[in-house]
């Protein structure tokens, strides 16, 4: 991202954000509610349009590309699975849109159900799944078209503590196994610190520090960060 800006009326939501993310990295945007995390993710995936700036993936400018043509996929907190489709149909949907062959879609689906360790649920409907299972299916669906990066907007926010911790480990393991670039968003500093290779701390629409979790703890760049990261939520 180069010099991204976005305002709603007089409110500057994204204030000149530039960020280069290397392939295969688990990076977290961490910051308090309202600091612009979701707006930044939505700009990358094509659900919000920046007022200025550029977004490039592998050197290709996608700033104005239609959402469905972007090589990035998003996972939301509320899963947003299609209720009238089976798990297999949900996972295959994106591949079908890309014109992938039926047999290839079936193979991909089997592979992804193995990855999320739910090999036996292909024919179930979302309402027959637990919260954790739905979240893993949403993840598989987003991974199905093999995006360059997966964007996750507080995906664990709705889960209770125990499940949330299980899912943190699960997500991390999936990221490692796939080698996929994950751009994760949370307001929970513990979650950011335990899961990420890199953390970008956001405050009022700006990235105040981009660093390893260790360095953010040891050498917070601003008072805000020292406060925010030092606090136990
Ligand atoms: P975060 O995800 O960090 O909580 P958001 O990106 O959702 O922050 O929101 C940042 C700011 O932009 C907030 O003040 C929010 O109220 C405002 N905002 C977000 N989307 C809109 C919108 N569509 N219209 C007006 N204001 C918005
Ligand atoms: Mg948000």
How large is the average pLDDT for residues 183-208?
A: 96
Does any ligand 1 atom lie closer than 6 A to the CB of residue 232?
no
Question: Any bridge partners for residue 211, and if so which?
Answer: 199
CA distance 194 to 42: 24
Q: What is the pLDDT of residue 144?
A: 94
pLDDT digits (tens, 9 = 90+) for 10-44: 999 999 999 999 999 999 999 999 999 999 999 99
Using the atom order of ligand 1, give the atom closest to the CA of residue 35: 3
How far is the C-alpha of 41 from the C-alpha of 30, rounded, in Å? 12
Our answer on whether the CB atom of 9 is closer than 6 Å to any ligand 1 atom is no
What is 82-96 written as a DSSP string?
-TTS-HHHHHHHHHH
Q: What is the pLDDT of residue 233?
A: 47
Which ligand places an atom closest to the C-alpha of 76?
A: 2
Q: What is the pLDDT of residues 51-78, one digit of tens each?
A: 999 999 999 999 999 998 999 999 987 7
Distance 61 CA to ligand 1 centre (A): 24
ipTM for this prediction: 0.98
Q: Say what the pLDDT of residue 77 is.
A: 79
């Amino acid at each position: 991202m180069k010099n991204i800006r976005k305002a709603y009326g007089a409110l500057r939501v994204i204030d000149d954000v530039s960020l280069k993310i290397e392939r295969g990295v688990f990076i977290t945007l961490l910051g308090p509610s309202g600091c612009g995390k979701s707006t930044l993710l939505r700009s990358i995936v094509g659900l919000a349009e920046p007022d200025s700036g550029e977004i490039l993936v592998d050197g290709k400018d996608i700033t104005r590309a239609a959402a469905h043509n972007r090589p990035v996929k998003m996972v939301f907190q509320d899963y947003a699975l299609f209720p009238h489709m089976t798990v297999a149909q949900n996972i295959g949907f994106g591949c079908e849109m890309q014109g992938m062959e039926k047999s290839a879609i079936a193979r991909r689906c089997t592979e992804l159900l193995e990855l999320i360790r739910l090999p036996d649920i292909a024919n179930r409907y979302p309402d027959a799944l637990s919260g954790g299972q739905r979240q893993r299916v949403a993840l598989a669906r987003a991974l199905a078209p093999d995006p360059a990066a997966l964007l996750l907007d507080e995906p664990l926010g709705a889960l209770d503590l125990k499940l949330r911790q299980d899912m943190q480990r699960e997500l991390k393991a999936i990221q490692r196994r796939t080698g996929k670039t994950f751009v994760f968003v949370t307001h929970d500093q513990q979650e950011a610190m335990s899961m990420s290779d890199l953390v970008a701390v956001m405050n009022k629409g700006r990235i105040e520090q981009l660093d390893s979790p260790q360095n953010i703890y040891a050498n917070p760049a601003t008072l805000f960060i020292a406060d925010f990261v030092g606090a136990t939520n």
